[in-house]
């Protein structure tokens, strides 16, 4: 060190260098500042790489550490000796860096604690934060216009000591029954060390204690503790997210198991169904009640909301629908039975549903709805298929046990087709936030009337993807369920489809 110091004096004789002992202290402070800045870089890098799991405390920790390290480095006299800059540069850098940081460095620390403290303490810390911002802005403004005198500085250092006292009181709020979390113990271990250095320095400023400024060493201990806690919280969040994703995957598998593995085979009917969830688990549901080889009931339902809660309610429909098999041919009675089964089971959600019964032997269909988008019926008229909506709606399922429903009976002839769907079809939006809508949907179906049921469903989903401007793998705005049923006619004894025309 002496050799370095003497060499520097020979090379730069005009520079006012600090003494050897003072230079040692400053080099130690510079080393601490560089190490802290490396912590900052690592913390911010980790936060932006792991945005889904990173905790905001990591950002507040990094900002707090960055401000402190910059202030520490710019206060070193030997750095000013090494950098060839004018006196005005150091004057304004002192105002822009040292004075600004002096006033606002405590703000990110308070934000860090707001992420950590119990909910009942957050309001107090918000008031503390507001006071800190106002006081810091006032003191900085007074310094900017050279109006800050000794009384302002005394108030500033008193506020710092009071803040340290507040942080000391917080652990006293914990009891034997509600113990302090381990991460808070680590923070307070660092704070205990840093607090001693801070109080000692502020008392030295007030003239109570003499001595050198050694606060940086205490801060280094605090940074190590805060960094450990911030990294631990981020790692815990990542583990928690992985656990949630695993549970969602299990929920998705369970939900997939309650949906029909294949459409039923009914004489004279060509049935195709597609279900596209918005998320891993969703609230759309469909199922079939097969009466015999020529009669089938089809339920399509949509639970409000998305995710696990909606999926759980959708799974309830599976059991509730099976209980309605005795009157599968009466859509109104089926919906009434589902409504009674769901009433009182949930409060924040409701269910829309449409139930269609098809009798291929008698060439009839019956339909009833519960707040659901209308059934679309395509009737063959010569060589053209004209589509229209059949709206027979009652109250949403699960709202009132007294709700009643009515069904509508219509002829269903060879060449006709039915479309059941959820509102995710009509409410699909393009980049201009324009909905696909029922009129556009009917027009598309008429243009694709030549397609069989399966290709029609595929083409409809492709059209919705094109309309929304999103790729097939992109997240949708709502779940989509689409079922198409074509009536090919019941074969006669010679294997030819019967015709009602």
Domain at 162, CATH number:
1.20.1070
Q: Are residues 237 and 280 in the same domain?
A: no
* pLDDT for position 483: 94
Question: Does 36 score more than 70 pLDDT?
Answer: yes
Q: Which of 198, 218, 246 is the last residue of a domain?
A: 246
CA-wise closest residue to 62 among 231, 238, 196 = 231
Q: Does 29 reside within a domain?
A: yes
Which structural domain, as residue segments, surrounds residue 371?
A: 259-487
> Given pLDDT bands bounded at 50, 70 and 90, which one contains residue 246?
confident
Q: Does 501 reside within a domain?
A: no
Q: Are residues 92 and 125 in the same domain?
A: yes
* pLDDT for position 499: 43
pTM: 0.58
> Given pLDDT bands bounded at 50, 70 and 90, which one contains residue 238?
confident
Q: Which of 194, 220, 246 is the last residue of a domain?
A: 246
Residue 217: HSE in the Cβ half-sphere, 13 Å Cα cutoff? 11
Number of domains in the chain: 2
Q: Are residues 321 and 469 in the same domain?
A: yes
Q: Which of 220, 246, 272 is the last residue of a domain?
A: 246
Q: Does 254 reside within a domain?
A: no
pLDDT greater at residue 162 or residue 497: 162
How far, CA to CA in Å, does 272 sit from each of 264, 281, 301, 376, 419? 10, 21, 16, 15, 10
Q: Are residues 88 and 192 in the same domain?
A: yes
Q: Are residues 139 and 285 in the same domain?
A: no
Q: Are residues 208 and 266 in the same domain?
A: no
Q: Are residues 235 and 184 in the same domain?
A: yes
Q: Does 375 reside within a domain?
A: yes
C-alpha of 177 from chain center: 33
Question: DSSP letter string over 232-251?
Answer: HHHHHHHHHHHHHHHHHHHH
* pLDDT for position 471: 61
Q: Are residues 370 and 284 in the same domain?
A: yes
Helices within 50-149 (DSSP H only) = 56-74, 77-82, 87-93, 100-104, 106-116, 119-144
Q: Does 132 reside within a domain?
A: yes
Question: Does 188 score more than 80 pLDDT?
Answer: no
Q: Are residues 56 and 99 in the same domain?
A: yes
Q: What percent of the chain has pLDDT over 70?
A: 78
Residue the block writes with tokens 């074969």? 491
Q: Are residues 330 and 433 in the same domain?
A: yes
> Given pLDDT bands bounded at 50, 70 and 90, which one contains residue 96?
low
Q: Does 351 reside within a domain?
A: yes
Cβ neighbourhood burial of 367 (10 Å; 0-12, 13-18, 19+): buried
Domain at 381, CATH number:
3.60.40.10
Q: Does 438 reside within a domain?
A: yes
Cα–Cα dist 407/210, whole Å = 92
Q: Does 252 reside within a domain?
A: no
Q: Are residues 231 and 283 in the same domain?
A: no
The pair phi, psi for residue 304, each rounded to 5°, is -65, 150
Q: Are residues 139 and 277 in the same domain?
A: no
Question: Does 467 score more than 80 pLDDT?
Answer: yes
CA gyration radius, the chain: 36
* pLDDT for position 303: 84
């Amino acid at each position: 060190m002496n050799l370095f110091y003497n060499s520097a004096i020979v090379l730069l004789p005009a520079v006012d260098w600090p003494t050897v002992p003072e230079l040692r202290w400053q080099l130690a402070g510079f080393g601490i500042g560089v190490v802290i800045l490396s912590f900052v870089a690592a913390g911010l890098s980790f936060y932006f790489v792991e945005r889904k799991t990173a905790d905001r405390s990591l950002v507040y920790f990094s900002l707090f550490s960055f401000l402190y390290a910059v202030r520490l480095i710019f206060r070193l006299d030997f750095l000013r000796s090494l950098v060839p800059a004018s006196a005005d540069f150091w004057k304004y850098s002192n105002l822009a860096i040292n004075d600004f940081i002096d006033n606002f460095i405590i703000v990110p620390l308070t934000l860090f604690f707001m992420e950590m403290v119990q909910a009942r303490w957050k309001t107090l810390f918000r008031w503390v934060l507001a006071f800190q911002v106002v006081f810091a802005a006032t003191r900085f403004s007074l310094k900017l216009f050279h109006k800050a005198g000794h009384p302002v500085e005394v108030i500033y250092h008193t506020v710092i000591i009071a803040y340290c006292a507040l942080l000391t009181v917080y652990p006293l709020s914990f009891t034997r029954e509600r113990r302090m979390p381990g991460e808070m113990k680590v923070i307070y271990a660092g704070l205990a060390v840093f607090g001693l250095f801070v109080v000692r320095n502020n008392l030295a400023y007030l003239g109570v204690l003499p001595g050198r400024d050694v606060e940086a060493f205490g801060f280094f201990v605090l940074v190590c503790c805060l960094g450990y806690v911030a990294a631990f919280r981020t790692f815990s969040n990542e583990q928690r997210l992985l656990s949630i994703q695993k549970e969602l995957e299990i929920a998705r598998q369970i939900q997939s198991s309650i949906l029909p593995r294949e459409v039923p085979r009914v004489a004279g009917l060509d049935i195709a169904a597609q279900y596209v969830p918005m998320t891993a688990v969703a609230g759309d549901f469909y199922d079939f009640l097969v009466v015999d080889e020529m009669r089938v009931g089809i339920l399509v339902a949509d639970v409000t909301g998305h995710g696990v809660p909606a999926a759980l309610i959708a799974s309830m429909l599976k059991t509730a629908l099976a209980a309605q098999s005795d009157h599968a041919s009466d859509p109104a009675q089926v919906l009434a039975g589902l409504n009674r089964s769901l009433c009182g089971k949930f409060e924040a959600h409701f269910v829309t549903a449409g139930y269609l019964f098809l009798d291929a032997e008698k060439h009839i269909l019956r339909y009833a709805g519960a707040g659901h988008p209308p059934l679309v019926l395509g009737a063959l008229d010569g060589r053209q298929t004209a589509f229209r909506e059949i709206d027979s709606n009652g109250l949403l399922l699960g709202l009132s046990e007294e709700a009643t429903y009515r069904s509508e009976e219509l002829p269903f002839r060879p060449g006709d087709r039915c479309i059941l769907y959820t509102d995710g079809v009509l409410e699909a939006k393009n980049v201009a936030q324009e909905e696909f809508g029922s009129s556009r949907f009917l027009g598309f179906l008429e243009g694709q009337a030549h397609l069989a049921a399966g290709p029609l469903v595929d083409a409809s989903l492709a059209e919705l993807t094109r309309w929304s401007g999103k790729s097939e793998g992109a997240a949708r705005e709502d779940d989509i369920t689409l079922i198409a049923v074509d009536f090919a006619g019941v074969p006669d004894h010679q294997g030819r489809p019967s015709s009602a025309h």
